[in-house]
Chains A and B, each alone.
Chain A
Amino acid sequence: MVSHETVLEALRTVNDPEMPINIVDLGIVDAVRVEPGTDGSGSRVVVEILPTFVGCPALPRIEDDVRKRLGAIFGITEVDVHFRFDPPWTVDRISTAGRESLRKFGVTVPQRRDSSEPETETLQCPFCGSSQVQLESSFGPTRCRMIYHCESCRNPFEHLKRIPVPVLFG
């Protein structure tokens, strides 16, 4: 059977279509299972993906890329891609390498934190490091980003949105 590591390595070559970050570093690959194929010869691979937003239009493209990339590996005869919302994706799932790659692209990511703590972070411009930044719009070019403006270097930049997990009654 094809190894788990081989599959993950291949998934690291699938990028989010809207940002320079692969789907493993983005943290949307929640589980990978390798099973014997139903035809008795090759392997069947199941990939469970957590969408960043319910309305993310990149999902069909990501699914297609995953199928193509895994389907090209010798020994993989079946690929199943599932999307689910539990557990919810959060920005804390983005890896350190992923954060760095987004920063270079001009997109900052909220610091990892325990969800019970209040947000205390001061944002820094990804271009000049200044913390003199202003929220310009809480909606941006994609559903997961919002727009800031740096007062020091006068550049706009984007910040990934942390969607708070709702507190339910009772």
Chain B
Amino acid sequence: MHELNDEARRALIQLLLAVADDKLMLGHRNADWTGLAPILEEDIAFSSMAQDELAHASALYQCVADLTNSQADRLAFGRKPEEYRCAQIVELSDDFNWATALCRSFFCDNFEALRLERLARSSYTPIAQLAGRLLAEEQVHVQHVDSWMHRLGRGDDDANQRMQEALNGLAPLAPMLFEPTEGQEVLEKEGIYPQSEPAMFERWSQDLLKVAHDAGLILDLPRPSAKIIGGRRGVHGAAFATALEEMTEVYRVEPEAAW
């Protein structure tokens, strides 16, 4: 097994927190649809996918806890807002707009599958094993959300228009998923987070453009800007503090609570 030096360990912690924080927030946001999704099957689907995301986050926090001699629950709920590493797209409220919720999952789940695919080839075995299993489940989410993009994009004018508006609203924000975490270049160089050709952003945008095109939707994805500092470095949108406060309410009242 690959031994981690201090620099790689620090960088890996940042990357794993980014993956876990994205999943925690997305799981939290998608769980909002439990009982409220437009049809029963989607109610179950969104609840199931939220359950997966939260479980994946929990397993990843446990990895970080093992690396830092900390506790998974404290990592999930006990940090200050600037210590979270999630991208801003997962923090936004969808305001119970179903099209926005689907499009957000479209961007995020496709990104997550590519990130996990790379981690599944990590030279650091404990992460590779976990990521392989998470990837298998994430690919089910990708298939599901891609099929909904198609179904609604090819639906009636109203459906198409709502999906188009939601895509337009999120597309400028989505490439910030690619903002590197601190020390990410070290992980890439050492094969702990191996990359491949075509580069991850190219692969992601090609995949998304194909689905959008087949769905009769127009997608314009800007390249991620290296100048913007965002969630991966702890700079979050206004919605994040409120969401975090809501999520951590029970933990703050009773840190040892179990259920």
Q: Which residues of A contact B (CB under 8 A)?
A: 53-57, 84-86, 88, 136-141, 143, 161, 163-166, 168-170
Which residues in window 96-146 of B have CB below 8 A to A? 117, 120-121, 129-130, 132-137, 139-140, 144
B59 touches A54 (CB 8 A): yes
Residue pair A163, B136 in contact (C-beta under 8 Å): yes
Cβ-closest chain A residue relative to B140: A163
CA distance A88 to B59 in the complex (A): 15
- Give A53 to B136 CA distance when docked, in angstroms: 10
Nearest Cβ in chain B — how far from A147, in angstroms? 8
Is A86 touching B51 in the complex (CB atoms < 8 A)?
no
Interface on B for A, CB 8 Å cutoff?
A: 41, 44-45, 47-49, 51-52, 54-56, 59, 117, 120-121, 129-130, 132-137, 139-140, 144, 196
What is the chain A residue whose CB lies nearest that of B135? A166
Interface-centre pick from A57, A143, A170 (highest chain B CB count, 10 A): A143
Whole-angstrom distance between the Cβ of A56 and the nearest chain B Cβ:
8
CA distance A161 to B139 in the complex (A): 13
Q: How many A-B residue pairs have CB under 8 A?
A: 71
State which of A85, A136, A161, A169 has its C-beta within 8 Å of the C-beta of B132. A85
Q: When chains A and B are docked, how far (Å) is the Cα of A34 from the Cα of B111?
A: 44
Cβ B52 vs Cβ A54 within 8 A: yes
For the complex of A and B, the 9 pairs showing the least CB-CB separation, nearest first, are: A55-B55, A85-B133, A137-B41, A86-B129, A139-B48, A139-B45, A54-B55, A55-B51, A139-B44
Known: A161-B140, A168-B117. 19 other contacts (CB 8 A): A54-B56, A54-B134, A55-B137, A57-B51, A85-B129, A86-B129, A137-B44, A138-B45, A139-B41, A139-B47, A139-B144, A143-B51, A164-B139, A166-B120, A166-B139, A169-B117, A169-B121, A169-B196, A170-B121
- Give complex CA distance A140, B55 in Å: 17
| Residues in A neighbouring B129, C-beta threshold 8 A | 84-86
Chain A residues whose C-beta falls within 8 Å of the C-beta of B136 in the assembled complex:
88, 163-166
Contacts of A138 in B (CB 8 A): 45, 140, 144
A55 contacts B132, CB within 8 Å?
A: no
26 chain-A/chain-B pairs, Cβ below 8 angstroms: A53-B52, A54-B52, A54-B55, A54-B133, A55-B56, A56-B55, A84-B129, A85-B130, A88-B133, A88-B136, A136-B41, A137-B44, A138-B140, A138-B144, A139-B41, A139-B44, A139-B47, A139-B48, A141-B44, A143-B52, A166-B117, A166-B135, A168-B132, A169-B196, A170-B121, A170-B196
